Amino acid sequence: MDSALGQAGERRIGWAARAMPVLTAIGARFAAERPLEGLRIAACLHVTAETAVLMGTLRAGGAEIALAASNPLSTQDDVAAALGEYGVTVHARAGVDRETYYRHIHQALDIAPEIVLDDGCDLVNILHTERTELLDGVRGGCEETTTGVIRLRQMTAEQALRFPVVAVNDTRTKRMFDNRYGTGQSTVDGIMRATNTLLAGKTVVVAGFGYCGRGVAERARGLGARVVVTEIDPVKALDASLQGYDVRSMAAAAPEGDVFVTVTGNRDVIRGEHLAVMKDGAILANAGHFDIEIDVRALDGLAQAVHHGVRPNTDEYVLADGRRLLLLAEGRLVNLTAAEGHPAAVMDMSFSAQALVVAWLARDPVRPPGVYDVPEELDVEVARLKLAAAGIEVDELTGEQERYLRSWRAGS
């Protein structure tokens, strides 16, 4: 590795790889079998050490890869430098503006991909709107996150999607671990790194009690916070209530909260009327995919002054009456901007599924356009490998148990 930046990135990637035994094992298998020989892949993923381990796995399988970031702020520049030296073409830099962010995606698409990997559907969107000349060459793709899958299903409903995309997000091994434990821990980590606030005794308002929101609520409660949940789904709200959380409307929670975390995948969850009644010093963070969950424009409109960078990734908005609201990471993914994203041990599972799905797409006949589930056996294989790496054994069904579970005749 030539540059000091590249060396730092290499160390970071090596550290992540230690916690990714499943992906490493798949990489060793790919190196022997070369199932992706010559396959051109365009990826739009957060450029982090864990993504680098995935890129290494796909390269070991023989793929040629161009990588762009899936968020303008989340790129780890040292990792990008190391990846470049490993032979992956990287178009990403931390802190780029909107125009550069989209230019980087275009540059990744210049590889003329056969397979695409996306996280939030921006790359697939550009392919279908601005780079339609490349569509015929694409065999299929993978989508990593909830927001991307929602957009893809909408494209399918409007018959706009032109190739099959596998919803890696929807596997049990992704949602149950990455969205919940990964987002939970790293979101709290991002808030603490940005503000060094003590969460014990504080009121943390979590907007959205889905997979991610549940994880954030659990981790905040674990640190001694009083957690208030807001929801629009009555079943999820009831679940939160029975788990012991206070459930409120955002209007009721706004004056109570010390820390707010949006994680809904929806827009305008915290609006001007909520900001107007918040406490002095309230912290605003978003862990949902896009920066539209907190209405930053309304915050700008209410502010008499904005002090950028009062802490790393923290901007202070001073309102007319002197109250100060603290916006983290400009309202973008706080866990990837102010912290390092998900711990490698959980990315091991979702990225292992990505790697296995890429091999599956490369091997199997082309399918009609649409959103596909990851084959159940791949999901189970990831969990089995993860357990094996941890030295954990599980029971197997006896023949009699299997017959019993398949039979409708047997009663008590």
Ligand X SMILES: NC(=O)c1ccc[n+]([C@@H]2O[C@H](COP(=O)([O-])OP(=O)(O)OC[C@H]3O[C@@H](n4cnc5c(N)ncnc54)[C@H](O)[C@@H]3O)[C@@H](O)[C@H]2O)c1
Q: Under the rule (CB under 6 A), what is the footprint of ligand X? A: 145-147, 179, 183, 207-213, 230-233, 236, 263-266, 269, 287-289, 333, 335
Token code pair at residue 94 = 């931390």
* Residue whose CB is less far from ligand X, 103 or 175: 175
For residue 206, the one-letter residue type is V
Looking at the Cβ atoms of 232 and 388, the one nearer to ligand X is: 232
Q: Residue 106 burial by CB count (10 A; 0-12/13-18/19+): exposed, middle or buried?
A: middle
Minimum distance from CB of 306 to ligand X (Å)?
A: 24
Token pair 């899958």: residue: 149
Q: What residue number has its CB nearest to ligand X?
A: 210
The SS3 call for residue 287 is: coil
Helix axis angle for 122-129 and 146-157, nearest 10°, is 30
Name the residue nearer to ligand X (CB basis): 249 or 401.
249
User: What minimum distance in Å lies between the beta carbon of 214 and ligand X?
Assistant: 8
Least separation in angstroms between residue 233's CB and ligand X is 4
Nearest residue (CB) to ligand X, 56 versus 343: 343
Distance CA 229, CA 267 (A): 17
Least spacing, CB of residue 248 vs ligand X, in Å: 11
The one-letter amino acid code at 192 reads: M
Cα four-point dihedral sign 369, 372, 377, 380? positive
Torsion sign over Cα 170, 148, 264, 203 = positive
Q: Which of 11, 75, 17 is nearest to 43 (CA)?
A: 75
Looking at the Cβ atoms of 85 and 246, the one nearer to ligand X is: 246
The residues, any chain, with a CB within 8 Å of residue 202's CB and separated by 6 or more, are 225, 226, 258, 259
Please count the residues of the chain.
Answer: 412
Q: State the nearest-atom distance from the C-beta of 177 to ligand X, in Å.
A: 11
Note the Cα 277 to chain centre separation in Å: 31
Sheet strands (E) in 231-328: 246-247, 259-262, 283-286, 303-311, 314-319, 324-328
Give the shortest CB-144-to-ligand X separation in angstroms.
8
147 vs 171, beta carbon nearer ligand X: 147
Closest approach of Cβ 112 to ligand X, in Å? 28
Q: Which is nearer to ligand X, 134 or 278 (CB)?
A: 278
322: number of Cβ within 10 Å: 8
Least distance in angstroms from the C-beta of 203 to ligand X: 17
> Among residues 50 and 258, whose Cβ is nearest to ligand X?
50
Q: Please identify, using beta-carbon distances, which residue of 233 and 377 lies nearer to ligand X.
A: 233
The least distance separating ligand X from the CB of residue 212, rounded to whole angstroms, comes to 3
- Residue of 74, 77, 163, 49 whose CA lies nearest to 113: 163
- Taking phi over 0 as left and psi of -120 to 50 as alpha, with beta for the rest, 146 belongs to alpha
